[in-house]
A and B are shown apart, each in its own frame.
Chain A
Amino acid sequence: MNNWWLPYGLKKRLTEKKSFQTDIDVKPLDGIFKTSLHIYIIDVGCPNDLCFEIKALQAPQYNIHRFGIFFADTPRHADVLIVLGPATKKMIGPLKETINQLPKPFGIILIESGEMKSDVDIKNIVGNNLLAEIKNYENPEQIIAVLLKIMNK
């Protein structure tokens, strides 16, 4: 077995070449994020499958860095906040504080999963900053398509 990782990885060609399209209504964000977009994730009480989907979004099949999409380590470095719901009552405070920390201009994407309803309506908290809402979540391609629409790509 060749122990050198590089040729093992290069011959695999894991990134998929496809276009990402969606019918979801998306409000573009100022037109200043055409080349790069930094996203921050907050889970406000989702049943954890969406957290798994965020990990799947980082898989090499999607290779989101090629589009200039990066994960930020703090809301202060983020352009877009992705909220994973539905929300528990106790996460409303941390959600409001996270939104307060985002530098302007910023936008928010809301994704919900599962049968539970939010204890509080997240849309009231997010207000006009809501760029898109993914109601019937299917797979990471949907998230990429929404992000690319925000970037006008």
Chain B
Amino acid sequence: MIHSFGKRLFGVLENNGELVNVEEEKLLLFDGKDFTIEANNKSELYPNYNIIKSRNSIIGKSEYFGEGVFVFRYGPVTSWLVEPGVFHIYTYGERILGMNIDVSYKSRNIEQKLTGLNPLEAIPFVESVCGNFSFSHSIAFTNSIEKILGIELNPIIKSYKIIALELERIYNHLYVFSQLANAAAQKVLTSHVQFLFEESLRTNFIFCQSRYLKKLNNIGKLNFYPDKKILNTVQERLDSLNSDLENLYARTLESKNFLDRLHATSIISSEYALNNSLSGPTLRACGVKEDLRQHDKFYEDLNIPTITFGDSLARLEVRIEEIFESIKVINDKIDFIDKVKNLVPFEEAKFSLENITGGTVGAVESPSGIIAYYAELESGKIKNIYISTPSLFGLNAIKDSLPGMIFTDFPFSVDSFGSFFADAAR
């Protein structure tokens, strides 16, 4: 059942990660458009409350008993899953009965390390939460600081930030595509998609001298504005990516062997997705047309692809459709910058962080869902910070959707959610 009051739980704010009494907790809630912070007087209504509370250790408390049932521990050192996470899988041989996921091996206590820093000093640390979402994390953080400071972004600066966000979406989606192709033993397809993945990282480097779009974002501005020549090169490379991917995607959809492996694995219903705060391509693959970008006036005419089946194949299809949409958005923004650069005054916001006090939420639609930062400043320094990441809810969905599947389905499920331990464990 979808809970009646319509808000979804994205975080439980404590005091700098220290456990506090339930009455002192505050809830980070999302109504489909905006985030609010509310006192904790109804946490029992949110099915994912306990998952959020255990986000630094083990997700899930499953236990299964029966003849031949044992726990298969996968991780933290494996050749397939390079990241150090642990899957505790209950099985009697082939079928998965249930699982718990330990994220603590990658926990770096980043929120505590950010406390006491000036927000400008904090940006490189924020970019280190999850390297493949570094720009999204950075944007969510600077959004919250810009809100506290009352900064309205110049349309040209905003357009540059949108281009970088969409570039991040493209390479992440290509990564998931290549992982799924590899998991399904489609070696030729894998090579072609890996080629596009590497090319997209090189496009990022051409755009801002960083393959992962680091050291680019700043509060109210960018550290670097790519010139017209660079933007034209980016456009040319994206045109080439567009046609190559169209060709590959058409071939992929004709490969019954590939489709059959992804079809009907790890099905997520829209009710489950909403109740458990899933967002991004995973939510849209269960038919829910929700995307933070649709409320942003700078994303005019954004097409939001949705599919209703909710399985691994649906999640892949949504991601590939989103690549085409991201290319369109980038082309629009480059044309916009070209058109208005001489007409609109190009001004960076001027601000001082001295004596600034206040707290608010900044959020962004990252490649795998919503990243939200609650940042609280006191005298210009970070007093308290909370990071809500889509990977925590993605890993929880992996845990809940895999039971009943067989071991062969494991990589299709895990890869299709695009969830990462670095992002979940922070």
A interface residues (Cβ-Cβ under 8 A, vs B):
1, 3, 5, 8-9, 12, 14, 40-56, 58-62, 71-75, 84, 88, 90-91, 94, 97-98, 113-116, 139-140
Contacts and interface: CB of A to CB of B under 8 A. Distances in A.
Interface in B170-201: 175, 178-179, 188-189, 191-192, 194-195, 197-199, 201
B105 A90 contact: yes
Contacts of A50: 131
Interface string B98-114: 00000011111010010
A42 B77 CA distance: 7
Given A5-B188, A52-B175, A114 B127 contact: yes
A58 B132 CA distance: 17
B129 interface: yes
Interface stretch (B9-17, B78-86, B274-282, B334-342): B78-86
B131 A56 contact: no
Contacts of A75: 77
Given A60-B192, A91-B84, A116-B108, 5 more contacts: A5-B188, A48-B83, A54-B82, A59-B191, A84-B82
A59 to B, nearest CB: 4
Contacts of A43: 82-84
| Interface residues of chain B: helix, strand, loop or mixed (majority) | helix
Contacts of B83: 43, 48, 51
16 contacts: A1-B251, A5-B251, A9-B192, A12-B195, A47-B130, A48-B83, A49-B132, A49-B211, A60-B194, A60-B195, A72-B79, A94-B77, A97-B77, A114-B131, A116-B110, A139-B211
Contacts of B191: 9, 14, 59-60
B7 to A, nearest CB: 30
Contacts of A56: 194, 197-198, 201
